[in-house]
Chain A
Amino acid sequence: MNDVYKIISDTTMTYKQQLLSLARLAEGSEINLDLSDEYYNAKNDSVICDLNEGNAPYRPRYIIPDYSVLMNKGCDFLQLDAPTDLWEACNSLLIMYSHVPSITSFPVYLGGFDDLLEPFVTDLSDAEIEKCLRLFLLNIDRTLTDSFVHANIGPKDSRVGRIVLKLSEQMQLAIPNITLKYDEELTSDEFANLAITCMLKTAKPSFANHKMFVSEWSENYSIASCYNGLKIGGGGYTLPRLRMYELSQKAIDINDFMNNVLPKYTKIMCEFMDARVKFIVEESAFFKSNFLVTEKFLDINNFTGMFGMVGLNECVNNLLNIKDHSLGYGNNEKADEIGVEIMEKLSQLVADHKAPYCSGFNDQYRLHAQVGIDSDGREDSPGARIRVGNEPEIFEHIVHSGKFHKYFPTGIGDIFKFEETWLNTPNALLDIIKGAFKMNMRYFSGYLDSNDVVRVTGYLVKKSELYKLDSNKQSLNNVSIFGKGARDTGCALDRKVEKNVSTN
């Protein structure tokens, strides 16, 4: 069936979803990028995946505006003065959100809610703050209908932060995704416990290892989209992925993989990224005329390209000829060692490539553990994650994650599903998170087995929305359809529930 016709006649898509899909089609059809045959071969072999970014990129994939500019100065283009109270501040933000592009055309970053709004609440009662933020969150959920929309809170306790948590719990909304920047020394246990209770009930916020991000990015970092670490006032130009399982099939043995295959394809991918980045900066209008750039909400020096990868698990097991995944990566010291060696090598190869327009990042791209897309099936697990169903008990799982998270400054995370009793003991879960961050885990997500809002591979969906799609009804949320794919083909919701497991 003709692709355009397929979209137009699809009764499960909303009008806006159809419009965006049609635009994506146009973006993909026009051949503007000058790419090598080697790239096209790699793409045809499914070794490199461009995540449907298309051939005519007209904006960076992820855009992280510095909203403090809006709070302090307002915006000429949007004819907004600097806000003087909480209502004006929320209104200005909502107006601006609808003008922030991204790969999905929804803003992937909404700002640090507490940093932006706390200055306006000093003289307000909790009831008024709550009323305002309730409308603010509701507006976001119903207009920015995409679970990659992401807000930050923390690391410090705040009235705004507490009310955002309280409302998230009450309202049970999938949007926005929220991250708490957590640092044992800056975040009070009390605030962290509130966040944990909220996380168990609504699958958000997730916890970001603040110390680790600050040491790499300075204070000026954000968590956007799924769990992507990016600079505020900047973003990520592009995110293609190496599909490591398919890559491993190109090698005769481990040596060949390390010394020939991995360097060859890393180079092809880096060159592909160079072409995209140059096109976005030099050809498309974005960096020349978009108000976000001209009014300094963005600075090109804060952008980098994200070198994505999936399927480390299956790659390692294939290289070691391990057929039974329960005995491989994540459950096997040798396999984990090979995994680390691959990551060391890949990091070095990517760092050695001189990337254009990444001057704020030593002219380097940064690695990203991509969460997978529904068409990945079960060949490539997300990023460096252990296959769903083969996770060891939580303690070993975290230690394993700690070995790999450091390689992915632009994002990696693990998700843990907990049984009901943990809701009564947020302190116990906080002990685990504190330990996890000491062991160099970068990003920790959790949810309760029995929730409606669940985390699929990085983004949130409502199970009830998935059921709607099952019965061919429309879902307002743009990513429910991905969630359905991940659930049906990737078993993403079958991950292990953390009980008290014995390992004697």
Chain B
Amino acid sequence: MFEKIFYEKDAFSNPRTQYVLNKFKGIPHVEISKIEDIFGRVKKPYLQKRTNLNLFIGEKKGQLVKETPNAYGLSGDPHYYFIHSYNCIYECDYCYLQGYFHSPDLVFFINHEEIIEEMRQIIKKNGSHKTSWFHAGEYSDSLALSHITGELPLYFDFFRDLKSAKLELRTKSANIKELKSLRPSKNIIVSFSLSPKEQIKDHDLKTPPLETRLKAMETLDKLGHPIALHLDPIIFCDDFKSQYEEMLESLFKYISPERIEYISLGVVRFTKDVYNQMKKNYPSSKVHQSELIKSFDGKVRYMRPMRLWMLQTIKNICLLYGVKEEKLYLCMEE
């Protein structure tokens, strides 16, 4: 899986570092003083993640919990994301990480106690009349490697007794090994990002197929873990409507609409940089043939009537299946 593991000298004795190093005994382990001395110091081409992926382990410095951009999550409450990891083992061709870091290498931060401390301060500041939302998975998939990173029990322990805070674990994986062993908590929501099976095949390279994700979702639901959905990014194709009808039909066979906490919908969009990176890395991706335009603010997206039509078409299908309107969140990105 990894070519080399670089670990920060100061992180060596941490049990989480030790666990990972032990798990990958057969590959070179290299001691470094700081992650940033190597990671991102040079431009490492994104697609080298296929053949030459390194792992860095260390402590994240600076702000660990940040406010999310506006169009994020259900509105009204304050939303934050926290940084526990960089980059991802999957390879979705639209992934914005390809234009974000200058390296596809994975970074695991091990100072989760400090992240939790920052969360504690934020919750205190926001008071009990607001629900503070914390999202994992802004710069990585939050479950894909959770059996290796091992931080989930810590977050479950922290969030379990909190009345005014919620944790969202966002994933495209079906790796629920860790979660299965944890007692569910009402305020810890596992949100699955889904697309029709044809789209997963075309765009979500190396991710588990739809069916596997749905089964994982069903298992967690049966165990009592709250489940949410992200239908994002939605990509147009010739049989767009029927693909989504089919996907939602299968979805609701695995989990009933009432059991879903919320469904967020968002249409594919790119900053100019990410789009250029994507064109370079995936020149024959079908995204390029799906009527994208350079929009008013320089972003690359579908024209307004099209993105609104896509959102509303899926919203209508969800409503037909009995999803309550208040559970549907349309990310308008205007």
* A and B: interacting chains: no
